A and B are shown apart, each in its own frame.
Chain A
């Protein structure tokens, strides 16, 4: 051995040592310094979360009747791994299963292959048909509805001979059902899978992408309370996604039972009376397009019934709704049954708005109840004559009579004078800073118009209520749009011309509140005020109970699985600035509407012993044209007038005179409540139950009172003739939306 060789051996040794040292360094870096990062990656690799929904809480009416509850359907599932582990890959099992389920073997195979996985034969990723759900849970291939007894037999047959069907299981799966069909469908809402947008919202934190959530009504409003806590199972999986074990599992906590203020018997009666009301209006040559009614407890805002026609059956949403069915439920040709006309749509209130105008006159001292005011056949504003209803002239009358006979011209003079005092055509008066400016609007705001009532349901409409400045803002925005429209619709010269005309009009001229608008406003016409039926019920309830505005509430109480009861407390949202004397004067006027022989509501058939007070409304929707005689028919009542317990608001869209349709429906609802004039009584003594239904630990519900009316499942109830203008508008809007979507698609 030469020194040269020894030297080189030494070099080799050093080289080898440096290689080993490099590995040591890298090993330290990966395992110790970066360990936590890789550990997290390993956990993410190996854990999957499976959540099973807890039993959803039932929704009961005030008598304990289930408006919504859970049924269990039978689902046949296949565990792919177990199937694949068969000698023949599961071919024999599928062949045996196929005739029982009535599905071809090919269909079954397609149902259980996982989307996006590489196909073992071609290596390509599997596309539809395939299973899009979690690969860690058994795959459902067939389900049998709760009432499908033949299907149940089949499912149980498979379960009994499980040795013939390795990997096949029959599982119960909870489905939401609404036993009374369309009854209170707008209030109950429905469940649909959570959407991508919702998953990003904080209120849905912790929800799984496969979760069903309430997407409307009480189901949406109280989703958290109703759904309880899911059972969460953490499983470990291997590289192929096979479940290798359970890491942890939590027990589900069932959701709370929701007891509503709604009474199914009353709701059924109101639905029926509205249907009759539409027919009644149609017999009088009206469309009777839609109809809505609200029955409130005047003393606390409890919603005892809230009905809107046409309606829909929320059961249609269970298990998912097809696009075609959904389109049917939102079809303008069928007046869009999904929309509640009780709280999601606003209408001109007509003379029912005089509650606010009369309050203004008394509160701001424009007149006393007994001040004689001319009720002429017409009131002249410049060249334009504003006629009394059917040109009737009553001479000089007091406020009581003005309400009783619903004289419009009485209100016009006060409104016109106030308009002058507020500055007339000027946006704001040049001089004077009197605090009682725009008093008619101020009082309307105090009654809660123009804003949400605080109803505990989603999609409430705030209605419309503008003062001068707000109207100016809206008009300015409209003018801006018109200036754009004037040059962007070359295919529609008529529209361009109209837009150009508006664009060229001096803005001040457009924004000015016309005297005609001001007088129209006082009688609930002219587009400056639109209200929901619910808002009108809340406003009258506030006057009825002495001046307190309550948020209308559908929920009455929550009963937890352990029996703990949480009552929903009345929620005060405002107070009316009305003195007891003025209130008494107003109540006197409203009482005469029904109880004086000349009152507009006197012929509607209100049982005299019930001491009903109220107000008619006949809201013209257009002075001329196709809807000229198709006024919205209103009646709002308070009962008993001495100390009102109930407020009932009824509106029939394009139903004609309030006295001739809505008032009759309103009276009939009282007959149902009290069992008068041959109407079967909803309650044994005309009173809703004083206590809550009780629920035993095993879930048996005991009603709080006996002798209540029976309720039967209802099919979806239709409305009347659709409003042709609304249909036209809806179709134009749909076309515009489709065009916009297409343009966006093309542009993007």
Chain B
């Protein structure tokens, strides 16, 4: 890529307005991080198949269109790709100007969810139901807003300093605290955890003093201990969080989910039962199988081999993200990339870890694979941002 980029560099000189746009467009397509893009496309294609496999039998049994979820997923992917293309094309420095707006809009969304406009699904007040069967989960978009907002503040051009000031870090924490508080009210513990890791990742990459990172990790651990110790969560949440440690004890509720998820994955063995032939999947044993537990479909029907492909594709996405962060010209770009990588990495780990019984059960989708419009759109936007950072750095260097 580097040689391509350098070859293109002189022609990028008049990169301002008008004609530059066409040039950028043309070059951008060629200069995209295609490894990243292909991995993402691979994940969404597998995701669509798995969502289809998870839903078609249940839909048919209920006398509904067996392909309804597949169609909607493809539509979500299509819209997501358009949003990603948009995010890749805007001059990301212009994002700085929009960042406050994005931030405020996400807050409005999170407040709206808590208002009577919001709906409760699975115990969390996280959705806004729109006409025509659409639902919006503002917390997903808030992740994008958080990534961009933090990058804006921590990546602010610094003259002599090579690290953000303590006041910047505090400002970031204050700004992040507002959406986190709103999410806490839903309550959506999974998204809270992802937010925490995004903040940690961004602050670490910003070059802030190590004491900030260490201090935040310590605070997070203490906070987590306090939540469990003083029973600050709703009982169902606490049960979900702690059940993974003793999943076999309670076969009737949350532990049941984990047990059935592990049974489905274990049932896949090395090569799987074959796509659409998972008995646990077709029997509807695993709840939320097209969304939070979609990985169990991969586990049962495609086995270790197929599940490994998903892990591998996710690893490629993360590797490319880290690589983009490392090559970013400016702190702003690196911070965006680092934020996105933290988001994807921890959300994937928590999601897959919970289906394998090593992480608590939280309502987090598996990036690119799980069914769900809001998460798909937000993740595609984030990929667009990665591509954007990649393009800027490669084109300029």
Contacts and interface: CB of A to CB of B under 8 A. Distances in A.
Contacts of A236: 279, 283
Contacts of B283: 45-46, 236-239, 244
Contact of B322 (A4, A9, A28, A38): A9
Interface in A1-36: 1-2, 4-6, 8-13, 15-17, 19-20, 22-24, 26-28, 30-32, 34-35
A28 B304 contact: yes
Contacts of A35: 266-270
Contacts of A34: 266
A57 B358 CA distance: 57
Contact of B345 (A16, A26, A28, A238): A16
Given A19-B345, A35-B269, A4 B356 contact: no
A4 B208 CA distance: 9
B279 A42 contact: yes
Contacts of A240: 284
B329 interface: yes
Nearest to A37: B266
A11 B341 CA distance: 12
Contacts of A28: 304
**Which 8 residue pairs spanning A and B have beta carbons closest together?**
A38-B266, A42-B267, A238-B283, A13-B322, A35-B269, A31-B304, A2-B162, A239-B285
Interface stretch (B25-33, B81-89, B102-110, B308-316): B308-316
Interface of B: 61, 63, 162-163, 201, 204-207, 260, 262-270, 279-280, 282-285, 299, 303-304, 307-308, 311, 314-315, 318-319, 322, 325-326, 328-331, 334, 338, 341-342, 345-346, 348-349, 352-353, 356-358
B266 A9 contact: no
A333 B63 CA distance: 63
Contacts of B353: 22-23, 26
B356 A30 contact: yes
A20 B207 contact: no
B197 to A, nearest CB: 10
Given A5-B205, A10-B326, A45-B285, A30 B265 contact: yes
Interface range for A: 35 or more
Contact of A30 (B63, B266, B314): B266
Given A8-B207, A12-B341, A24-B311, A31 B329 contact: no
B319 A13 contact: yes
A501 interface: no
Nearest to A24: B311
B308 A4 contact: no
Query: In terms of DSSP, what is the predominant structure of the interface of chain A?
Result: helix
Contact of B303 (A17, A31, A45, A46): A31
B85 to A, nearest CB: 26
Nearest to B355: A30
A35 B304 CA distance: 10
Interface of A: 1-2, 4-6, 8-13, 15-17, 19-20, 22-24, 26-28, 30-32, 34-35, 37-39, 41-42, 45-46, 85, 236-240, 242, 244
Given A13-B326, A30-B299, 5 more contacts: A12-B201, A23-B353, A27-B308, A31-B304, A236-B283
A24 B353 CA distance: 10
A26 B314 CA distance: 16
Interface centre among B204, B264, B267, B279 (most CB of A within 10 A): B267
Given A38-B263, A239-B283, A9 B205 contact: yes
B151 to A, nearest CB: 13
Contact of A24 (B308, B338, B348): B308
A495 B384 CA distance: 100
Given A8-B207, A9-B205, A19-B345, A1 B280 contact: no
Nearest to A41: B263
Given A31-B266, A31-B303, A42-B263, A20 B279 contact: no
B356 A23 contact: yes
Contacts of B329: 1
Contacts, number: 151
Contact of A39 (B266, B345, B356): B266
Contacts of B314: 20
A100 to B, nearest CB: 28
B397 to A, nearest CB: 11
A1 B269 contact: no
B205 A26 contact: no
A19 B317 CA distance: 14
Contacts of B205: 5, 8-9, 12
Contacts of B345: 15-16, 19
A5 B284 contact: no
B334 A5 contact: yes
Contact of B280 (A6, A16, A46): A46
A41 B263 CA distance: 7
Contacts of A45: 260, 263, 279-280, 283, 285
Interface centre among B283, B285, B338 (most CB of A within 10 A): B283
Contacts of A244: 282-283
A237 B345 CA distance: 37
A634 B201 CA distance: 104
Nearest to B353: A23
A515 to B, nearest CB: 74
A23 B349 contact: yes
A242 to B, nearest CB: 8
A32 B342 contact: no
24 contacts: A5-B331, A8-B205, A9-B338, A11-B204, A12-B201, A12-B322, A12-B325, A16-B345, A19-B346, A19-B348, A22-B353, A26-B356, A27-B304, A30-B262, A30-B357, A32-B269, A39-B267, A45-B260, A45-B283, A46-B279, A85-B63, A236-B279, A239-B260, A244-B283
Contacts of A238: 61, 282-285
Nearest to A238: B283
Contacts of A239: 260, 283-285
Nearest to B307: A27
A41 B328 CA distance: 50
B303 to A, nearest CB: 6
A4 B162 contact: yes
A239 B356 CA distance: 20
A1 B328 contact: yes
Contact of A23 (B163, B260, B311, B330): B311
B56 to A, nearest CB: 13
A558 to B, nearest CB: 43
Nearest to A45: B285
A9 B304 contact: no
Contact of A32 (B262, B282, B304): B304
A2 B207 contact: yes
Given A6-B326, A20-B311, A240-B284, A26 B358 contact: yes
B350 to A, nearest CB: 10
A494 B215 CA distance: 89
A19 B342 CA distance: 11
A493 B380 CA distance: 96
